[in-house]
Amino acid sequence: MSNRTMASLMRRAKVDPMDCYQCGKCAAGCPMANSMDLNSRQIMHCTQLGEAAYNKLISSEAIWLCTGCNVCHERCPHDVDIPSVIEQARYDAIEKGKIRRKSKIFNDIFLTNLKLTGKSQEAFLALIYNMVSLDIFQDMNSVPHMLRHKLVSVLPEFIKNPKEVSNTMEKSKEWGKAEK
């Protein structure tokens, strides 16, 4: 596990922590900053503190709330690629089993379904997500409209060759293992 450190995270993210001068412009434009336990500027501050703040960063909820909208990177006067840091922080969090509960449920359901069918089926996913996460009625009042106008199908749909997709997904995971 020696390569799961702040230094290696930043190497993989291809970002130099000292490029950030803590101006906060990124967080000012971030749509999720209000809900984040660490906003984008604070995330960069963690990376500057180095190993001492590594756990704080990868255990944060913020890295799972980031929508990947790229506003922060776009507006940063020093071109700091914060989404890249967040992406790598998430991979480390997954590795250490620190993934946010609802994100884990959603992503697991999404990928299991993708592996089986090769496609994503929104209504199906939403329904299963609600049952597992116990948010039973979330978005369910839209379902009658969707069915009436044939916007979703009741049965899952499959692509031509789902096996190719599941093979690709399995092989992708092997690279991760080889790196460790």
Partner 1 sequence: MMKYSFFPGCSMGSTAKCYRLSLEYVCRQIGMDLYEIDGWNCCGATSAHVMNEVMGLALPALSLAKAEKNFPHLDIATGCAACYSRLKTAAHHCKNDAGVRYQVEKTIGMPYEAKREVLNFMDIFGTEEAMTAMQEKIRRPLKGLKVACYYGCLNVRPAAITGAPDRENPMTMENIISLSGADCIDWSFKTECCGGAHQNDATTETRPLVDVIIRNAVANGAQCIVTACPLCNMNLEMRQKEYERIFGTPRIPVFAFTELIAIAMGAHWNEIALDAHYTDASKIIAEAIRAGKEADVK
Among 21, 131, 138, 151, binds ligand SF4 (CB under 6 A): 21
Start-end of H helices in 118-158: 122-133, 143-148
Q: State the number of binding residues for partner 1 (CB under 8 A).
A: 62
Pick from 25, 42, 8, 36: which is nearest to 79 by CA?
A: 25
Cβ nearer to partner 1, comparing 52 with 154: 154
Rounded Cα distance between 7 and 86, Å, is 14
What's the Cα-to-Cα distance from 56 to each of 44, 46, 50, 139, 150, rounded to whole Å? 12, 8, 11, 33, 46
Scanning residues 83 to 102, which ones bind ligand SF4 (CB under 6 A)?
Answer: 83
| End-to-end alpha carbon distance in the chain | 7
Q: State the number of binding residues for ligand SF4 (CB under 6 A).
A: 26
> Which string of x and - marks every residue 23-52 that binds partner 1 (by CB under 8 A)?
--------xx--x-----------------
Contacts of 174 (CB under 8 A, 6+ apart): none
Cβ nearer to partner 1, comparing 14 with 22: 14
Start-end of H helices in 14-121: 25-29, 40-49, 54-58, 62-65, 71-75, 82-95, 101-117
Q: With binding defined as CB under 6 A, does residue 14 bind ligand SF4?
A: no
Contacts to partner 1 by CB under 8 A:
31-32, 35, 64-65, 67-71, 73-74, 83, 87, 90-91, 94, 102-103, 105-107, 110-111, 114, 118-123, 125-126, 129, 133, 135, 138-139, 141-142, 145-146, 149-153, 157, 159-162, 164-165, 167-169, 171-173, 175-176
Contacts to ligand SF4 by CB under 6 A:
20-26, 30-32, 40-41, 44, 66-72, 76-78, 80, 82-83
